[in-house]
Structure 1
Amino acid sequence: MYTKKTQQTRTELLDAFIELLKQKDIGQISVIDIVNQAQVHRATFYRHFEDKFDLIQQAETDIFQSVDALFEQYVKNDPEIKIDTAGFNTYRVNLLHIFMDHADFINVMLGPNGDLTFENALYQKIYQLTELGFQTIYKLQTQATGKSEFIGHYAASAAFGVVRQWLKNPTISAQELSNLLDELTIKGLATTINDITLSE
């Protein structure tokens, strides 16, 4: 467990890296750049991280460990997922909150100077969410052979795009976004657009 001071320093170094990544590619960022941006000594950086890639790895690990812990909390390692629809919605909202807590890092890592490996890993978490939703709501095993696999990736790709845009421009709450994803999944695009148009 990090002390408050240690966590503050790590956050400052990560924030500095995020600001630099908005301006240039990962390969162009040095440890010197990071410590200058954070206004700390180089030795301070090496007390917390081995190099810039360790900083990235630890930031990614923090996100994915939180995501995995949440998944375990709801699924409880049960191969026959018994989570109900209400429980799934709560799970999805909590997952969205985790993503929003790390929005600055996620946004730059998904940006033009970011890392495709991270993008793929995040997509897999969204796919995991989609698979859980399909098993909960439709009792559909998306890993089965045939069309269901493609349906799963279609839904996951759409959800990934929606979440990605929301993290950049969070004009609605996590609960509202979760409700919108439900409407799009259950009613379809055309009906959802029509419902929104009629309500405005």
Structure 2
Amino acid sequence: MAGIKGNRRVLYTKKTIRDSLIKLLETKEIHQITVTDICKNADINRGTFYAHYKDAFDLLQSMEDELFNKILDYIDETPVEEYSDSLLLKVIELISENKDLCKVLLCNQRDNKILDRLIYVASKTDIEQIYSNSNEFTKAHLNYYIRYVVGGCISIIQAWLENDLPESPSELVKIINTVNKLNIEYYK
């Protein structure tokens, strides 16, 4: 018999709770959502909710952490030279697979710290190696550059999510890389 973590009923319940929160976040900010709202929407009792999460913030944080842990795994397994193609594609495919959650996190929530987390993740990568051959790129500019690139990518991804993913993940990677190349060429 599978343990509690692998129990299909538990997995289904957690998915139902998560789906309920995502649906509520489409029209409300996280601080406006109560456990009762989540439970009513998921058609579960509060005890079931509290068996898995402390509150709505804990639930949202666990969902966000799960996404970021996958991104960190992708970073660890991807060579630096493949960040702009392979890594970016993996991340955009992850966003596509989790479209509703990502739309809520990136487009609807004003109070979240997702951009800060993405900038932190980007700063922990070896992105510096990619641009070390540029004469005008110095270590002092790295923080600004990371913020600029991540902010630009997030803006493109937000527009993609808001338009219901009209391009495939690989097409979006080409768009982002084209914009980044135009930017790099401009500053050479």
Q: Does residue 178 of structure 2 align to residue 174 of structure 1?
A: no
- The CA distance in 2 between the partners of 1:45 and 1:143, in whole Å, is 50
Q: Relative to 1, partners in 2 of residues 1:97 and 1:112: Cα closer, same or farther, differing over 3 Å? A: closer
Q: Relative to 1, partners in 2 of residues 1:143 and 1:68: Cα closer, same or farther, differing over 3 Å? A: farther
- The CA distance in 2 between the partners of 1:142 and 1:125, in whole Å, is 20
Q: Relative to 1, partners in 2 of residues 1:52 and 1:103: Cα closer, same or farther, differing over 3 Å? A: same
Residue 178 of structure 2 aligns with which residue? 183
Q: Which shifted more, 18-27 or 29-38?
A: 18-27
Residue 13 of structure 1 aligns with which residue? 17
Greater relative CO (CA pairs within 8 A, separation 6+): 2
Percent identity of equivalent pairs: 21
Q: How far is 1:71 from its partner?
A: 0.6
Q: How far is 1:104 from its partner?
A: 1.3
Q: Does the CA contact (< 8 Å) of 1:107 and 1:167 recur in 2?
A: yes
Q: Give the unaligned 5+ runs of structure 2.
A: none
Q: How far is 1:84 from its partner?
A: 2.9
Secondary structure in 2 aligned to 1:50? coil
Counterpart code for 2:139: A
Residue 59 of structure 2 aligns with which residue? 55
TM-score by length of 1: 0.75
1:91 to 55, 62, 87: 87
Q: Does residue 161 of structure 2 align to residue 164 of structure 1?
A: no
Q: Relative to 1, partners in 2 of residues 1:107 and 1:123: Cα closer, same or farther, differing over 3 Å? A: farther
Q: How far is 1:150 from its partner?
A: 3.0
1:35 to 36, 39, 45: 39
Secondary structure in 2 aligned to 1:92? helix
Q: How far is 1:88 from its partner?
A: 4.3
Q: Does the CA contact (< 8 Å) of 2:30 and 2:57 recur in 1?
A: no
Residue 129 of structure 2 aligns with which residue? 135
How large is the Cα RMSD of the aligned pairs?
A: 2.9
Q: Does residue 152 of structure 2 align to residue 152 of structure 1?
A: no
Counterpart code for 1:135: Q
